[in-house]
């Protein structure tokens, strides 16, 4: 049995190697492509595995995503049912998603981007700001992260609505399901925060139909995946003025290509996929535990439901 590590960043792979090696000193742990015997690899620890990577390990038993999402694994690979796939579930990552969206919303409510532009041209220009108690937030996706983000917003005094595939009970959060539920939620939300997993069903969900159902003057925050958004539809609805702007952390192609019209758009705030970043120190214990579970033929922690795709 051996562990293979795959990331596109050598330093990152090395850090993972050190964390796993110091906790599993008697195991063979190798960084791809330097794998001495690919037949022995049973546990693949990875982020954005290249197409066909899984076929190189015929005796694989489990795949550990190094992030909360698994779309980067499932999009290029059909996983046989005997292989378990696990995602990261980490309180720090979950909380970071809330802090990021909260910062975007507060900065927008208090006009910080406008004041910062005015400061550059020494323009003293007071502008009315908004108050938390008057703002409604709509959360798309009520999994572990979405539920937490919804509750945190509600705890600080926002009105919060949430939309998910199946009905969820969250105290002080109104939840919606189905297409008509989605439109109802969009029509009353001042800010819509996308935290959906990327699956065949959710790809392209933020299209012109969705965007035209958003409340007039509302604002989109995308911390899910770039592929949830039809970029041209987003640009045209913002240019029409119906949606006031967007804060985008994730994109179809990352890094965001230089020629993307998002970069220079005055109503779009770009962040480089930093809403939450995996910290090895808080995440390695679940990866180590999962390897032990693979060895003991047990069910992994944070197992992905392959038919749902998250
Ligand atoms: C993740 C991410 O899935 O960083 O964890 O996008």
Beta bridge partners of 31: 5
Length of the chain: 310
Mutating to test ligand 1, I would choose from 67, 87, 226, 282 the residue with most ligand atoms within 8 A of its C-beta, which is 67
Active site residue 165: no
Torsional sign, CA 109, 170, 84, 201: negative
Provide the pLDDT for residue 18: 98
Provide the pLDDT for residue 102: 98
Expressed in percent and rounded to 5, the helix, strand and coil fractions of the chain are 35, 20, 45
Q: What do you get for the CA distance between the two ends of the chain, in Å?
A: 27
Q: Residue 90 is encoded by which pair of tokens?
A: 């980490």
Mutating to test ligand 1, I would choose from 85, 248, 276, 309 the residue with most ligand atoms within 8 A of its C-beta, which is 276
Provide the pLDDT for residue 213: 98
Please report how many Cα atoms fall inside a 13 Å half-sphere around the Cα of residue 167, on the Cβ side.
Answer: 1
Chunked mean pLDDT (size 10), the chain, 310 residues: 97 98 97 98 97 96 97 94 97 98 98 97 98 98 98 98 95 97 98 98 98 98 98 98 98 98 98 97 98 98 96
Provide the pLDDT for residue 172: 97
Q: Are 49 and 73 in contact (CB under 8 A)?
A: yes
* Ligand 1: nearest atom to the Cα of 66: 5
Active site residue 225: yes
* Ligand 1: nearest atom to the Cα of 72: 3
pTM: 0.95
* Ligand 1: nearest atom to the Cα of 277: 4
Provide the pLDDT for residue 251: 98
Q: Residue 105: exposed, middle, or buried by beta-carbon count in 10 A (0-12, 13-18, 19+)?
A: buried
Q: Is the CB of 69 under 6 A from ligand 1?
A: yes
> How do 243-248 and 218-222 pair as beta strands?
parallel
Q: Is the CB of 197 under 6 A from ligand 1?
A: no
Going by C-alpha positions, the residue among 190, 208, 184 that lies closest to residue 104 is 190
Provide the pLDDT for residue 305: 96
């Amino acid at each position: 049995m051996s562990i293979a590590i795959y990331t596109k960043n050598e330093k990152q792979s090395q850090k993972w190697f050190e964390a796993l090696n110091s906790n599993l000193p008697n195991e063979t742990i190798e960084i791809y492509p330097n794998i001495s015997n690919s037949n022995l690899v049973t546990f693949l620890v990875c982020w954005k595995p290249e197409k066909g990577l899984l076929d190189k390990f015929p005796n694989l038993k489990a795949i550990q995503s190094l992030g909360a999402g698994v779309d980067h694994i499932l999009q290029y690979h059909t996983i046989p049912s005997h292989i378990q796939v696990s995602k990261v579930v980490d309180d720090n990552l979950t909380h970071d998603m809330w802090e990021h969206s909260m910062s975007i919303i507060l900065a927008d409510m208090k006009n910080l981007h406008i004041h910062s532009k005015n400061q550059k041209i020494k323009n003293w220009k007071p502008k009315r700001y908004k108050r938390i108690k008057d703002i409604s937030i709509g959360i798309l996706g009520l999994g572990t992260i979405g539920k937490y983000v919804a509750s945190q917003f509600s705890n600080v005094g926002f009105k919060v609505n949430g939309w998910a595939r199946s009905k969820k009970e969250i105290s002080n959060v109104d939840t919606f399901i189905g297409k008509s539920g989605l439109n109802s939620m969009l029509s009353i939300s001042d800010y819509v925060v996308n935290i959906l997993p990327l699956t065949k069903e959710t790809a392209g969900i933020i299209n012109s139909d969705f965007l035209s159902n958003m409340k007039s003057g509302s604002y989109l925050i995308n911390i899910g995946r770039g592929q949830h958004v039809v970029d041209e539809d987003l640009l045209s609805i913002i240019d029409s003025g119906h949606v006031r702007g967007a804060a985008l952390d994730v994109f179809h192609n990352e890094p965001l290509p230089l020629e993307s019209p998002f970069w220079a758009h005055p109503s779009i705030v770009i962040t480089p996929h930093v809403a939450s970043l995996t910290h090895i120190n808080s995440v390695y214990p679940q990866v180590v535990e999962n390897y032990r579970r693979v060895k003991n033929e047990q069910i992994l922690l944070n197992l992905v439901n392959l038919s749902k795709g998250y």
